[in-house]
Structure 1
């Protein structure tokens, strides 16, 4: 279960800040694993309004390991 504060912030981002609507494609770009709870909450909020969310994960630690 997510912290209700993440869910509340996600609702504000999806329904007020970006006014995401049904059928829209939404890119959720997250850095490191600390942002995972908010990314999950935004993903769920976007699904609820009928949007098509996609999560992109970026990690500087992983990039360093791959180089």
Structure 2
């Protein structure tokens, strides 16, 4: 189990959090954490943008041409 110190809203203080055994296969990188003091659960979310797809969309935008 991995341990991190985070602010717990229930304990109203910084407390150690640990990742429970993950059934989704995340192992120690599981986004679910549990406060060891009170048992409150939090989910750490990360956002990943598909950079290559965004770059492709920008490249293929139609160009606006003015009439001569």
Higher RCO, 1 vs 2 (CA within 8 Å, ≥6 residues apart): 1
- When Rg is computed on C-alpha atoms for both structures, the one with the higher figure is 2
Which structure carries more helix by proportion?
A: 1
State if a TM-score over 0.5 links the two structures: no
Report the TM-score, using the length of structure 1 for normalisation.
Answer: 0.30
TM-score, normalised to structure 2's length?
0.30
Which protein is richer in strand relative to its size?
Answer: 2
